[in-house]
Structure 1
Amino acid sequence: MSASKKKPVRRRSPARKTAGRKKPKVQLKNSSVIALCSVLAFLCGLLLFMNFMFAGRGSDSEKRHAPAVEAVSAKPSVSKPAEPDSEKVKPSEKKVSQLEAPAVNSDSGNQDKKNLPSEKKESSNVSIKPQERIASADNRNPVVQLPEKFNIPKASANATLVFIIDDAGLSVEKTKKYTSLPFPVTIAVLPKLSHSKDCAYLVRSSGKELILHQPMQSLNVNLNPGPGAITADMGTYDIARTVKENLDEIGPGVKGMNNHEGSLITSDQIKIGAVLEVCSERGIYFLDSRTTADTKAPQAALERDMAIFEKNAPYIDNVLTREAMLKEIYGCLEVANKKGTAIMIGHVDKSANILPALLTEMYPYLVEKGYRFATPSMLKK
């Protein structure tokens, strides 16, 4: 039986081949996976942050350099003066072009650079005559026509122009046209009219010279000189009282007075002398409008050792047309060049629609020719 018993056979595992053995799979724990993902996320965030920072610096640099390029290209077109033959632009479009810089492009930039030397030459400091300034302004506005060429002679002997504008007191709006003149002017206000005080206030507040336009009786007794007048039946006391009342009504700041009509009174040495007495007492001047060649105002002033002023040039607005007024002004210029001073008179309500605009238009030409502007108080020593 022992011989018949067989020993158990041990099975041997086949020999393991080390060369072709597969490596075991690496198994990561959950904590390791989380840590790895966190590191990767941090690195990605760091890269994004650095990219954002460098990109921001580049855009800032471009912004800093952009205005310089725009300014260079825009400078020639902004500083280029308007040429007489250039295309006309409406005022609204001109304003927009001055406020907004033109868009930058290579073609316009190159063209501007080519024109730059000539533009610098044209924009140099050159004295421009009044007619050139006005023409340049009109070229930008197709509605306004070029003004006519005034035939103004060159001033001699320090020629001075004194404009007296009579008869204010009825219309504030018409008076305002004369207070808006760009040179010294004297405005005479009539007393006791509907807007005498308003017109006097307007003249004072505008800085123009205010005087009383004292009504006086004319040689033609059928003419009514208006309220507050000096009449032939008045004695010296009544004359002085009337003049003082009128001066007080016109208010403070009155520099003098002149006569409205008054040929009957100014030809009476005693009566006009009473007027001069008030002027001396108030410290104001008297301007003789010379409504008559028989005026006795110079003799009455000589008796009182006073100096008075006299109109010595034509009335500007005897004929109510632009051409006629321009002709009278030319005559006044001749007086100024001969005598040194021309004292001329116009009227508020009579010529307000023509004379203020004409004088405003002529003003720069007169200045260019060397004429001066003054009021009687500025001439007074």
Structure 2
Amino acid sequence: MLTPKPVPVMPVALTVAKPERPKVLLIIDDIGDNYRLGKRVIDLPVTVNLAFLPRTPFARRLAQAGYQLGHEVMLHLPMESTTRKDLLREEALTQSLSESELRQKFFENLSDIPHVRGFNNHMGSLLTTLPQQMEWVMAFAAERQLYFVDSRTSSQSVALQQASEQGLRAVGRDIFLDPVGDQASVEKQLNKALALADKRGVVVMIGHPYRDTLDVLERRLPQLRKDYQFVSLTSYLNQTSTLAKESQAQQRDLKTLK
């Protein structure tokens, strides 16, 4: 009697999920005073979080154009600093203002820029250290369900803490791209930010519409977008909020099983 031959089994192709690319949240501040430089920002070939200064001549026009191109629009909210009082803008939030006066200025600034999803501080090394003023500001922002990015112009900032207490989604800046404006410095800071993204999976970096900064970004971004995800703050914060809720649900389920 012949022994039946075993049926050949085709090998199973093992597929390994490709690791998710690190996320980069690129914020460009101070947009609105110079149209040509602002246009270069919104023409960058990745998703950019555009932070517009209120009461500037080109902010509305550039915000509308950036929004139509799929970028995120933010309010770059002027706040009082500990130094350079000469740079304090008329629309800035200052410690001398009452709660009602702060509220009025906050919403006047917000209404000046279309399509705003969140805000960060322009200057603000003094105001962001004041718990009462930050509590008020974050409460105003919560009324419009805005998110907040702490530019971290002071190591003593309480802004993130107050944002959290008011229920705002919030993150802090990791890297400034251009504390010194030359291209070599920008390259160094960019590489530092990317290394942090590789290590942590995400980085929040802030730059400005300086010519040297834009020259570096225009040169580097076409290649970098292949290796990194440049995402909007709304997209990132929505994802982290969902993950946090799922984690909390899992913790509740585990307690129930016990």
Q: TM-score range by the shorter chain?
A: 0.7 to 0.9
**TM-score, normalising length from structure 1?**
0.55
Are the aligned partners of 1:187 and 1:210 in contact in 2 as well (CA < 8 Å)? yes
Aligned residues: 220
Residue number in structure 2 paired with 1:371: 228
Following superposition, the deviation at residue 333 of structure 1 comes to 0.8
User: What does the per-residue CA deviation read over 1:109-148, in whole Å, with 9 as the maximum and x for residues that have no partner?
Assistant: xxxxxxxxxxxxxxxxxxxxxxxxxxxxxxxxxxxxxxxx
Aligned ranges 1:143-162 → 2 under 5 Å: 158-162=21-25
Q: Which residue of structure 1 lines up, in the alignment, with residue 77 of structure 2?
A: 214
Q: Are positions 1:241 and 2:104 aligned together? A: yes
Contact 2:160–2:171 (8 Å) recurs in 1: no
Counterpart in 2 of 1:345?
Answer: 206
Equivalent position to 2:122, from 257, 260, 284: 260
Instruction: Return the offset for 1:204.
Output: 2.4
Preserved CA contact (<8 Å) 1:166 1:189: yes
Q: Secondary structure at the match of 2:184?
A: helix
Answer yes or no: is 1:301 the counterpart of 2:175.
no
CA distance, structure 2, for counterparts of residue 354 and residue 226 of structure 1: 25
Residue 321 (structure 1) aligns with: 182
Whole-Å separation in 2 of the counterparts to 1:205 and 1:173: 18
The answer on whether the counterparts of 1:335 and 1:342 sit within 8 Å (CA) in structure 2 is yes
- Aligned residue in 1 for 2:32: 169
Q: Does 1:290 align with 2:152?
A: yes
Matched residue, 1:70: none
Equivalences for residues 49-64 of structure 1 within 5 A:
none
Tell me the TM-score normalised to structure 2 length: 0.80
Q: Are 1:204 and 2:62 matched, yes or no?
A: no
Query: Contact 2:28–2:50 (CA<8 Å) still a contact in 1?
Result: yes
Structure 1 segments (4+ residues) deviating >4 Å? none
Distance 1:324 1:354 in 2: 10
Task: From the CA coordinates, give the structure whose radius of gyration is larger.
Answer: 1
* Cα pair 2:46 2:225 within 8 Å, conserved: no
| 8 A Cα contact 1:161 1:341, kept in partner | yes
Q: What is the CA deviation profile of residues 161-220 of structure 1, one whole-angstrom value per residue up to 9, with x for unaligned ones?
A: 111101111111110001001110011111112333223233223321111110000012
Query: Which residue is equivalent to 1:361?
Result: 219
Identify the residue that residue 194 of structure 1 maps to in structure 2. Answer: 57
1:16-40 Cα offsets, whole Å, 9 max, x none, are: xxxxxxxxxxxxxxxxxxxxxxxxx
2:132 counterpart residue number: 270
3-state DSSP class of the match of 2:180? coil
Q: Distance in 1 between matches of 2:229 and 2:60?
A: 30
Equivalent residue letter for 1:293? S
Alpha-carbon RMSD across the aligned residues, in angstroms, is 1.7
Would the aligned equivalents of 1:157 and 1:337 in 2 still touch at CA under 8 Å? no
Deviates more, 1:258-267 or 1:333-342: 333-342
Q: How does 1:17-36 map to 2 (within 5 A)?
A: none
How many angstroms apart in 1 are the aligned matches of 2:32 and 2:217?
Answer: 21
Where does the alignment leave 5 or more consecutive residues of structure 2 unmatched?
A: 1-18, 239-258
Other structure's SS at 1:250 match = coil
Task: Name the aligned partner's letter for residue 243 of structure 1.
Answer: F
Q: What amino acid maps onto 1:356 in structure 2? A: L
Q: What SS class does the counterpart of residue 380 from structure 1 fall into?
A: helix
Judge conservation of contact 2:148–2:168 (CA < 8 Å) in 1.
no
Greater shift after overlay, 163-172 or 196-205? 196-205
Q: Is the 8 A contact 1:171 1:199 kept in 2?
A: no
1:354 Cα offset (Å):
2.6
Partner of 1:281: 143
Aligned to 1:231: 94
Whole-angstrom CA distance in 2 between matches of 1:223 and 1:375: 33
Partners of 2:148 and 2:164 in 1: how far apart? 13
Cα 1:200–1:332 shift into 2, 3 Å: same
Of residues 180, 190, 194 in structure 1, which corresponds to 2:43? 180
Residues 1:278 and 1:173: Cα distance change in structure 2 (over 3 Å): same
